[in-house]
Every structure is written in C-alpha cells, then in structure tokens.
Structure 1
Amino acid sequence: MKVSKLIMLVLVMVVIVGSGTSSLAAKGKDDPAIKGSLVIAGGSLGTSNVEVYEEFIDLAGGDKNAKIGIVPAASGSLKSTEKFKEDLISYGVEQSSIEILELSSHDFSGTDENERKWKSNAQKNKMVNKIKDLSGIWFVGGDQLKITDTLLKKNGKKTKALEAI
C-alpha cells in the first residue's frame, strides 16, 4: 500500500517544499500534514509555458529567494534537466540558486560518468542537508518508475532523501 502511494506521489513532477500563498497552495492551508505545494505539469513543458514557470518560482520563494533542486532520475539523459535549469535562469532565478541533485538509479546517455552510482546518494546525509536547504524541487519528466527506484530502498521503505523531500 505504501509503495502505491509513493508511485502516485512521484507521478507528480514537481514538489515545492516552501510554503506559498497562491491559490494553488490555498487548499489544505490549515492542514498540518501538508508541508508545501504541488505544481503539476504534464508532459512537454516548454520555455514558453510562462504560467507554470512563474507559479513554480513564486511558490519556491520568488526569483530572488528561490533555492531549487532538480531531480533528473526519471530521464534517460541530462538534456531536459539542463534545459529546465536554463529556463529557470531565463525567468530570473540566479544560477547559483539552482542545483542538479545527483539522484538516479540508472546511467544517463551522453555522459562519461556512471550516474547509476548516484542511487546511494539517496541515503547520504549530505544529500538530505541539500534537500532541506531547498525551497523547491523539480522532477524532470521521463520514466516515473525510475524515481521510485531511486527514492525507495529495496525493501520498499523510504530513503533519507525521500523523507527530506
């Protein structure tokens, strides 16, 4: 049962860990179990999707205060991750405020590194501390089951990174 709930969670591509005041965040505002907001973006998000980018950035603290982590785990390459980072910069977020989180359970095409080794990062305190310092987390599109493979232990329990998210 817990695994199916997690799969439902990761089908959502974006998690905002900061609190927001927009209408998207208003529902559940008084529910203590809700610790942030979700921005759900279906496939093929492009640079021109102004409303999605602006809402995400606003909920993450605004272009001057947002600290954003990008999780590439679902993708087959880092191209969409790098493109999303470029888009955030074009919308005013400082490059130094955006970090690609080394979380993946598989190797990406087009790189010299074996990103499969990033799976262990999901249990490292260094990653947890990075996540806790973020105000927004973006999951790039792709095979969403790769996210569960990255953020769940073999026994189906949550990794430290998932707990932090």
Structure 2
Amino acid sequence: MARALGGNAMSTGLLPWLGIALILVIADQFTKVLILGYYHLGDSTYVTSFFNIVRAHNTGAAFSFLAAASGWQRWLFTGIAVAAVIFILWLLRSHAGQRLFCFSLACILGGAIGNLVDRLLHGYVVDFLQVHYGGWYFPAFNVADAAITIGAAGLILDELLRVRRAR
C-alpha cells in the first residue's frame, strides 16, 4: 500500500533533491539578509574590473520584465512561482532516479522558492550581483537567479544527452 501511494522508496529518493533546494534557499536568503543589512538601495561596492556588489530591487521578473507595472505583477509572479514549485515537486517525485534532471530541477526549485520568499516578504526581489564590461552592465541578479540559470542549463544538457543516447 505504501508503495502504491508513493511511500518510502519514492520519498527517500526525493530527499537529496529537496536537500539541495533547501541549501540553495538558505544561501540565497542569507546573502540577501546581508545585503539588506549592510547596503542601502543603490549602494554599490567595486569588487573587480568586471564585478560589483550592488543593492537593487526588482519588482518584475527576469531582466525587470513588468517592473514598471502598478503592483499587480507581484501577485502574478507569486502565483507563477507557486505553480512552478508544485510542478517541480511532482516532476522530482516522478523522476527521482534521474540524477542530472533532478539536480537541475532542484536548482530551479531552490531559486524559485528563494525569489518567492522575497516577493512575499518585500514585494520585490533583492538583487546584488552585477557583472559589467566597459560601459555595459548586465542586470543585477542574486543566488536564486544563478541557481535557476544553472538548473536551466542542466535541463538543456540532460535533454541533449538523452537525445544522444537515443540515437
């Protein structure tokens, strides 16, 4: 009966992936607490010729998409994040033995939850990592965004490897 309900074997396979996601959420939130505690909005610290630490608030999505909207976007992105978390949990449970796939999903899950916490607590996402070259500045991002990017790259690699194995 326990196996039919997805019991112990399934949940045990899920735990490492949830652990990775939890570590990412903790790292993301810890770094954001530091930034919120030590930097005012717009403050910046030069680190290298191509990297700064800067405090920025993003009320939108990736690359500040919809950041200038009147506030409704907070709840839209919150709803999307909750739906993504539920879907990712389902995928992790269904594919717990696929290591690269689940690692990638765990990264995305941790990042999604990290940014979701920000939206719920602050109404915006705290960004603080800034890469630049010459006069060009990549939009500021955070640990959660980096985890999501790593997860997306991992999903692409996993699919490429799957297609290659199928040949």
Category of TM-score, reference length = shorter chain:
under 0.3
* More helix by percentage: 2
* More strand by percentage: 2
TM-score, normalized by length of structure 1? 0.26
TM-score, normalized by length of structure 2? 0.26
Max radius of gyration: which structure? Answer: 2
